[in-house]
């Protein structure tokens, strides 16, 4: 495992993930009322869309390690436990000339800290209903799995 914050430069990332699927983790964080925390992207791809925090799994990194790293970076929380709740395929990325991610979804069941957004997001909020302009593939997962209502 590399010590770099991002182990691939953009050209390497684009070269690799234009040929093979990209494994990601997606984080579902719920409050005591059952609302889901989502962030609004400040960067491409999908700039301006609400989405679940998530990111690429690094080579040699376990899925739980990836969840902990992404949660700390994107939300400022320390994850103790998380449970796998499914996966999200992203045909919208592939059909729009981007990469082809497959996201393994984890619901955080124990953490410390209060969620706050990093510089990759312009906003963060708790939702019980699907917000307008939610990422096209995550919206289906969130509705079908009863995390949010439409």
Q: How confident is the model over 35-67, as pLDDT tens digits?
A: 999 999 998 888 999 999 999 999 899 999 999
Residue 149 lies in a domain: no
Which residues constitute the domain of residue 120?
Answer: 10-144
* Cross-strand bridge partners of residue 24: 56, 103
Q: How many domains does the chain have?
A: 1
pLDDT at 73: 95
CA proximity to 88, closest of 47, 28, 42, 30: 28
CA distance 91 to 87: 13
What secondary structure letter does DSSP report for 8? S
Residue 150 lies in a domain: no
Does the residue 1 lie in any domain? no
pLDDT score of 5:
62
Q: Is residue 4 part of a domain?
A: no
C-beta neighbour count of 64 within 10 angstroms? 14
Confidence of residue 22 (pLDDT cuts 50, 70, 90): confident
- Is residue 47 one of the residues assigned to a domain? yes
Q: For residue 5, is it within any domain?
A: no
Residue 15 belongs to a domain: yes
Average per-residue pLDDT for the chain? 90
- Report the C-alpha gap between 78 and 12 in whole angstroms: 30
Instruction: State the CATH number of the domain containing residue 81.
Output: 3.90.79.10
Asked whether residue 2 is assigned to any structural domain, the reply reads: no
DSSP tag of 42: S
Number of Cβ atoms within 10 Å of the Cβ of 119:
8
């Amino acid at each position: 495992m590399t010590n770099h914050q991002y182990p691939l430069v953009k050209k390497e990332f684009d070269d690799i993930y234009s040929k093979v699927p990209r494994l990601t983790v997606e984080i579902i964080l719920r409050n005591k009322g059952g609302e889901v925390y989502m962030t609004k992207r400040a960067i491409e791809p999908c700039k301006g869309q609400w989405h679940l925090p998530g990111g690429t799994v690094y080579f040699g990194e376990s899925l739980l390690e990836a969840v902990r790293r992404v949660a700390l970076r994107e939300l400022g929380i320390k994850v103790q436990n998380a449970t796998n709740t499914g996966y999200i395929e992203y045909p919208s990325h592939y059909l729009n000339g981007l990469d082809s991610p497959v996201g393994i979804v984890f619901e955080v069941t124990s953490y410390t800290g209060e969620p706050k957004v990093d510089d990759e997001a312009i906003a963060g909020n708790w939702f019980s209903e699907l917000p307008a302009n939610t990422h096209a593939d995550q919206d289906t997962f969130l509705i079908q799995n009863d995390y949010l209502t439409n």
